[in-house]
A and B are shown apart, each in its own frame.
Chain A
Amino acid sequence: AQSVTQPDIHITVSEGASLELRCNYSYGATPYLFWYVQSPGQGLQLLLKYFSGDTLVQGIKGFEAEFKRSQSSFNLRKPSVHWSDAAEYFCAVGADSWGKFQFGAGTQVVVTP
């Protein structure tokens, strides 16, 4: 059965420092992979997606993610975080024809001055 794991429940990072959020998936074939961000009281905003092709994908707000088939990972990175990046981040897998998504448990990012 497919699954998505985000090993880090909570990450604290200093403003200006780099950020990496981990995501591992389990699926028989190459799935569609997504990262969403949820600010408090708000919905889920798509940051980036991977379907095929170049394994390094660029997203909005300066985020990028790298698909590594050998590690079944799709980690999200940002070179220099801003205070506005404080939010919860969800990795998601979409793997069937109807588009049902399976989400990871989320990683809460706190940005300190």
Chain B
Amino acid sequence: EPEVTQTPSHQVTQMGQEVILRCVPISNHLYFYWYRQILGQKVEFLVSFYNNEISEKSEIFDDQFSVERPDGSNFTLKIRSTKLEDSAMYFCASSDTGGGQPQHFGDGTRLSIL
């Protein structure tokens, strides 16, 4: 069964550094998402992406964050200048049609900011 893959599985970064989290969505999917889960808290929506542009973003997704689909297969989340509170598990998800269709999630990248 096709799956969403995320790399790396764990990223340790110094505060203030830039970090890029990478995702390869399922190949025929058109809608892409990033969520994060701070330890012990609920999964929170960050951003959705469709047709090469952001379709919706949450309050969390401020100017420090950006997303990109640099080629036909990768979907990246960049945090420009990391803060301690960015430490979390970041999940990438994709779906084929959006509109409430099931989203398929990757295994996540655990980001630790020192």
Q: Do A and B bind each other?
A: yes
* Interface residues of A, Cβ cutoff 8 Å to B: 31-32, 34, 36, 41-46, 49, 51, 90, 92, 94-106
- B residues near A96, Cβ cutoff 8 Å: 56, 100
Interface residues of B (CB under 8 A from A): 4, 6, 31, 33, 35, 41-45, 48, 50, 55-56, 91, 93, 95, 98-108
Nearest A residue (CB) for B94: A99
B100: A residues at CB distance < 8 A: 31-32, 51, 94-96, 99
Smallest beta-carbon distance B110→chain A, Å: 9
Q: Judge whether A100 and B48 touch: CB under 8 Å.
A: yes
* Set B95, B105, B106: member contacting A99, Cβ < 8 A: B95
Partner of A46, one of B33, B50, B102: B102
B43 touches A44 (CB 8 A): yes
Give the interface centre of B44, B98, B100 by most chain A CB atoms within 10 Å: B100
